[in-house]
């Protein structure tokens, strides 16, 4: 049972390390090919491979597809352009990084950031098999992105921000690394505003991408505080009662206007993990 931020982060790291090892050791390893790894058992929801077009999947290494733990397809909404620099927060097995690298072309660059050694090793092997050279995988946490300020055109992420223990820091870091006019295309699990943090925790675990989810209003307030405009949080599919897969889009237009957004305290998940 996780009760502190450090314990929650370690629980998340262990969960995804196990998934990476399973994919590496077995063709069907963790069952991610059926799209169920991020979701809690008992929630028949859309996660993973099912959210990608068949043409996209066919051009990827099989292990990259099997390791997909996301709740959406951020590459489908991020409108990547030739020559751009993009970073994927919580890049996992590398599926979105490889797809992004092909979209930005040889004059562009795609970074993948992950805190799990096993996932990074799997992603680098998938990069080798895919034959893409304009990719760099970095080790780190999404609350402290190891890239210079104003160095990125687009930030994407696939069902990872809900796993962060400090969402305010993540949104502030995204704004820091984006160039003026830079944009985000994020897939995430988002709660309806009517649900309290405790009610979200009742619907699923933190590592299952449910208990730690922000509400729609919290996401909007956090992005506004971080200096974003043209903010859109659009529900795409149900994942639990009052919880939805969502596409989050925004454009960085100014410096942060104020600090902070409502933080979901790790203690609120103690009974569900």
Class (C level, CATH) for 5-262: alpha beta
Q: Which residues pair with 16 in a beta bridge?
A: none
Is the pLDDT confidence value at 272 over 50?
no
**Where does residue 267 rank: exposed (0-12), middle (13-18), buried (19+ CB within 10 A)?**
middle
Whole-angstrom distance, CA of residue 215 vs CA of residue 200: 9
Look at strands 152-158 and 178-191 and give their pairing.
Answer: parallel
Residue 118: which of 99, 145, 87, 92 has the closest Cα? 92
Residue 232: which of 250, 245, 244 has the closest Cα? 250
Is the pLDDT confidence value at 18 over 90?
no
pLDDT score at 77: 80
pLDDT score at 98: 92
pLDDT tens per residue, range 178-205: 999 999 999 999 999 999 999 998 998 8
Largest CA distance in the chain: 49
Whole-angstrom distance, CA of residue 15 vs CA of residue 154: 27
**Higher confidence at residue 205 or residue 219?**
219
pLDDT score at 182: 97
pLDDT band at 61 (very low <50, low <70, confident <90, very high): low
**Higher confidence at residue 181 or residue 53?**
181
130, 68 Cβ separation under 8 angstroms:
no
265, 4 Cβ separation under 8 angstroms:
no
DSSP states along 246-265: EEEEEEE-SS-SS-------
pLDDT score at 37: 40
**Higher confidence at residue 269 or residue 61?**
61
Average pLDDT, the chain: 81
Which residue stretches of 70-114 are H helix? 95-104
pLDDT score at 165: 87
pLDDT score at 5: 74
Per-domain residue ranges of the chain: 5-262
pLDDT score at 273: 40
Residue 265: which of 190, 180, 198 has the closest Cα? 198
The most confident of 30-34, 236-240, 255-259, by mean pLDDT: 236-240
Task: Average the pLDDT over 163-172 and give the result.
Answer: 92
Residue 96: which of 128, 126, 138 has the closest Cα? 126
Residue 163, CA atoms < 13 Å, CB-side half-sphere: 29
Task: Average the pLDDT over 215-242 and give the result.
Answer: 95
Is the pLDDT confidence value at 21 over 80?
no
């Amino acid at each position: 049972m996780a009760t502190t931020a450090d314990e929650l982060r370690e629980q998340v790291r262990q969960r995804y390390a196990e998934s990476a090892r399973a994919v590496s050791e077995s063709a069907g390893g963790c069952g991610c090919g059926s799209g169920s790894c991020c979701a809690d058992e008992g929630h028949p929801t859309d996660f993973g491979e099912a959210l990608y077009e068949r043409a996209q999947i066919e051009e990827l290494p099989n292990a990259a597809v099997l390791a997909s733990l996301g709740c959406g397809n951020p590459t489908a909404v991020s409108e990547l352009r030739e020559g751009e620099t993009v970073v994927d927060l919580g890049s996992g097995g590398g599926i979105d990084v490889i797809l992004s690298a092909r979209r930005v072309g040889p004059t562009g660059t795609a970074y993948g950031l992950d805190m799990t050694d096993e996932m990074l090793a799997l992603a680098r092997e998938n990069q080798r098999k895919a034959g893409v050279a304009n990719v760099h995988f970095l080790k780190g946490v999404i609350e402290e992105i190891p890239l210079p300020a104003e160095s990125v055109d687009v930030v994407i992420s696939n069902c990872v921000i809900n796993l962060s223990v400090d969402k305010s820091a993540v949104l502030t870091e995204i704004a820091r690394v984006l160039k003026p006019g830079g944009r985000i295309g994020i897939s995430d699990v988002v709660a309806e505003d009517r649900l309290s943090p405790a009610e979200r925790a009742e619907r699923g675990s933190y590592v299952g991408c449910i208990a730690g989810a922000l509400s729609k209003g919290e996401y909007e307030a956090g992005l506004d505080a971080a200096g974003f405009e043209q903010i859109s949080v659009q529900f795409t599919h149900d994942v639990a009662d009052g919880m939805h897969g969502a596409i989050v889009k925004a454009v960085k237009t100014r410096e942060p206007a104020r600090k902070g957004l409502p933080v979901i305290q790790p203690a609120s998940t103690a009974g569900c993990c």
